Amino acid sequence: MAKVTVPIGPQHPALKEPESFSITLSGEQIIETNMRLGYNHRGIEKACEARTYIQDMYLVERVCGICSHSHSTCFITAVEEIAGLAVPPRAQYIRTLIAELERVHSHLLWLGVAGHEIGFDTLLMYSWRDREVVMDALAALTGNRVNYGINTIGGVRRDFTREQLDSLLKVVDVLEERTKYYIEVATEEPTLINRLSGVGTLPHDDAVRLGAVGPTGRASNVNRDVRRDDPYLAYADLQFDVIVDTHNDVYGRTLVRVGELMQTYRLIRQIVKQIPDGPVTVKAPRRIPAGEAVSRYEAPRGEDVHYVKANGTDKPERVKIRAPTLANLQSVSRMLENNNLADVPITLAAIDPCFSCTDRMIAVADPASGRRETLSWEALRQHGIRWYAGRGVDFAALNRKLGRKLGRNA
Amino acid sequence: MTTAWSLYALLVFPGLLFLAFLGWTLEFVDRKLYARMQNRIGPPWFQPVADFIKLAAKEDLIPAEANPRMFKLMPVLALAAVLTAFLHIPLGNTQPPIAFEGSVVVVVYLLTIPTMTFFLGGWHSTSLYSMIGAVRTLTQLFAYEVPMLLAVLAPAVLARTWSLTKMAAFYDQHPFYAATNLIGFLVALVALQGKLERVPFDIPEAETEIVGGTFTEYSGRLLAIFRLAIDMELVAGASLVAAVFLPFGLGLAPLWGFLLYLLKVLFVVFLLALLRTVTARVRIEQMVAFCWKWLAPIALFQLLLSLVLGWRIWTIMKS
């Protein structure tokens, strides 16, 4: 077969969010990968500037559907640092507890997605069934399955009773047993190992150079974890191991994630045992004094960085979010080199991408004049209409057709 | 056979109508088993029929770039080929409508045609995903077809006949010799999984890589016919494996013999469903390597075993 360019995305069954990868193939072998981001930009950073800190907290929680607590906590840590608030220890422990439960559900979700991408749907069904256990536990604790809404500036919104905390131990026992089973599957099932090892290789030096974070980096022996290197919340008081692996491939990333699950259960047990008594919140001012802060957070997918600049009002001057996917996305091209088309979905999935978290506004650069400009909404809309008209799609006609249809039905 | 009887055999039993209903039943059984083994509830019994009716009621979309004649012809051709193959296979102890010396080879040959139609249909869709799927279909065909043929030939060599009916008669007289074909049975099961393009060999239609593979551009009635042909291929493949490798209980009364045949087919489908539950999809080059490095030599070994055994049996019978 001659060279062909296969579009993976913006709409493709392997991708859960719109993003475009055009892959040039010779037969089944990948020669070149081109990435285009920006299909899923929601303008959250800009929207933050128009809202109060309390509103922003809920908005930022919706940056990601999986690591919602990560973004909300990361943002609020920066705000509390500017305001000089001392968050009570019990609140810190509760935040840590939710963060670790979130890691469990994120990693189990990933395991299922990875299974699906390599056509191993049984793994998907099993791991997502078990994920329900932790989802139910989160719903019982916070009232919600994903956007927990547990944080508030200066603490947390809910306190847990001893019974609630103790009931978590049973949940952890169930999950630990299931995770041990998955470790067994991952290390013994031959088709799984054959499909994952040697795929999407990211050597250690490249991982460092390209700034891979989280499990993606740790599977290439990048021994970094914000929880240990720059402790936040209650992590300084807790014992856990940072799981690293030297496989450098998708198989290594799988081992790191299931290994991290076991460490997370260890952390949850410690939190339930050690959680101090006391208040869960301190009074926070509505207006945050002028200042700026950067906060780091080890989200399930890697290091999450938030920058907040306050100007003395009740709204931030600037919020900047660097989601872990942005750090890991650069390494995808390297991982895909000399791989097969069959490995594209799993290699992409192995960084556990969250594209909507990553997409940002793009300035249009004209390579001829070197001029940079940003498009207004109206200009962008007109550009879109022209672009499609050039390809034979007439939106005016479609609109008229739709109007007639609606008119007839009404 | 009279014309009326031929038409009945062709269209009702064991022809189109019976085959279609058995195909839908087996698809349901397969999906239900797959679901139960994955801890899911699974579809209701009428789901395959409902899918067929839904697809048949929908609009046929043919890509502007596609060759419309080939595009429309392929599903029908696949259906016809599977139907013709099925007419050669004995169901339990019944005499198949077409029986002659050499039916084993004809069945295996006819069951290759659907795969060729998948290739041609995908190729003539001219969509990128379809074409990659089509090339993979063909690559895969070259991998599983030889082990499949070798595995099916071994029992025939032992029985010294190319006729499925005469093979059945031979194993009915010497039931224990059927046990020597166990290796061939396993090889045939794996190869059949490849022929039916099911996990771990669903490479030509790998959803997460190439959307729908060969069938990406197919919709409506044409897709419905393709789906039906695949269901019927499952019946034909399972029946062939059952007739060749599980030839026991052939002396029963016709009704019981037929029920036993259904049981055998269900057993084969159960094994196929189990195989797709416990495996991940392999890559095309892994599939080809597996078939040539493992499956084909094992099938050759079975053939050798049958040759040696066959020589022994027939010299004893002569003396």
ipTM of the complex: 0.80
Q: Furthest-apart CA pair in chain B: how many Å?
A: 69
Separation in Å, CA of B236 to nearest CA in chain A: 25
pLDDT for res B30: 92
What span, in angstroms and rounded, lies between the C-alpha atoms of B88 and B100? 9
Cα A32 to its chain centre, rounded Å, is: 26
Interface of A with B (CB under 8 A): 1, 4, 6-7, 12-14, 28, 115-123, 125-126, 129, 189, 191-192, 194-195, 340-345
pLDDT digit string, tens, across residues B135-160: 889 889 988 988 988 888 888 888 88
Q: Domains of chain A (ranges plus CATH)? A: 44-354 (1.10.645.10), 371-409 (no CATH)
Neighbours of B83 (CB within 10 A): 20
Q: Which residues of B touch A121 (CB under 8 A)?
A: 38, 199
CA distances from A26 to A1, A2, A3, B283 (A): 7, 6, 5, 16
What SS3 class is residue A18?
coil
**Chain A contact for B208, CB < 8 A?**
yes
Q: Which of A6-10, A318-322, B251-255 has the lowest mean pLDDT?
A: B251-255
* pLDDT given for residue A295 in this prediction: 92
Q: Enumerate the β-bridge partners of residue A305.
A: A296, A322
Count of beta carbons in the 10 Å neighbourhood of residue A375: 14
* Nearest-CB residue to A118 (from B40, B132, B281): B281
Number of H helices, E strands in chain B: 14, 0
pLDDT by residue, tens only, chain B of 319 residues: 578 878 877 777 777 888 899 999 999 999 999 999 988 898 999 999 999 999 999 888 888 888 888 888 999 999 999 998 888 888 866 677 777 888 888 888 899 999 999 999 888 888 888 888 888 898 899 889 889 888 888 888 888 888 888 888 777 777 777 778 888 889 999 999 988 888 888 888 877 777 878 888 888 899 999 999 999 999 999 988 888 888 777 777 778 888 888 898 999 999 999 988 888 888 888 888 988 999 899 988 988 888 888 787 778 777 7
Contacts of A116 in chain B (CB under 8 A): 208
Most B CBs within 10 Å: which of A118, A128, A254, A391, as the mutation test of the B interface? A118
In this structure, what is the dihedral angle of CA atoms A225, A228, A233, A237, given to the nearest 10 degrees?
Answer: 150
Q: Which residue has the tokens 């075993």?
A: B305
Per-residue pLDDT at A410 exceeds 50: no
pLDDT value, residue A136: 92
Concatenate the DSSP letters of all residues of A165-194 into one string.
HHHHHHHHHHHHHHHHHHHHHHHH-HHHHH
A75: confidence class by pLDDT, cuts 50, 70, 90: very high
With 70 as the cut, is the pLDDT of residue A361 above it? Answer: no
Q: State the residue for tokens 């906590």.
A: A73
**Mean pLDDT, chain B, as a whole number?**
86
Residue owning tokens 């409508």: B97
Please count the residues of chain A. Answer: 410
Backbone angles phi, psi at A365, to 5 degrees: -110, 130
**pLDDT tens digits for range A29-46:** 888 888 877 788 888 888
List, for residues A324-338, the tens digit of each pLDDT value.
Answer: 888 888 888 888 888
Residue with tokens 């719109």: A18
For the segment A353-361, the average pLDDT, to the nearest whole number, is 76
Answer yes or no: is pLDDT of A266 > 50. yes
Residue of A nearest to B207 (CA): A13
Q: Quickly state the pLDDT bin for A363 (edges 50, 70, 90).
A: low
| B23-71 residue pLDDT tens | 999 999 999 999 999 888 989 999 999 999 999 998 888 888 888 888 8
Report yes or no: B283 at the A interface, CB cutoff 8 Å: yes
Residue-wise DSSP of B253-287: -HHHHHHHHHHHHHHHHHHHHHHHHS-PPPPHHHH
Mean pLDDT across the stretch A45-58? 90
**Distance between CA A343 and CA A334 in Å, rounded?**
13
- For the stretch A146-198, pLDDT in tens is 888 899 998 899 889 988 888 999 999 999 999 999 888 888 888 788 888 88
- Comparison of pLDDT for A392 and A362, the residue scoring more: A392
Q: In this structure, are residues B45 and B51 in contact, taking their beta carbons and an 8 Å threshold?
A: no
Q: What pLDDT, on a 0 to 100 scale, did the predictor assign at position A90?
A: 92
By the 10 Å C-beta count (0-12 exposed, 13-18 middle, 19+ buried), A273 is classed as exposed
The pLDDT value recorded for residue A42 is 83
Cα angle for residues A11, A13, A14 (degrees, 5° grid): 105
Would you list the domain boundaries of chain B?
3-312
Question: Would the CB atoms of A344 and B285 count as touching at under 8 Å?
Answer: no
Q: What is the pLDDT of residue B228?
A: 92
Q: What is the model's pLDDT at position A47? A: 87
| Assigned token pair, A335 | 């991982």
What are the strands, taking DSSP E only, across chain B? Answer: none
Task: Choose among B208, B277, B285: nearest Cβ to A345.
Answer: B208
- pLDDT of B128 reads 84
How far is A146 from A139, CA to CA, in rounded Å?
Answer: 8
**Chain centre to alpha carbon of residue A267:** 21
Please calculate the CA angle A96-A244-A202 and round it to the nearest 5 degrees: 120
Q: Are strands A316-322 and A302-310 parallel, antiparallel or unpaired?
A: antiparallel
Q: From chain A, pick out residues whose CB is under 8 angstroms from the CB of B282.
A: 191, 194-195
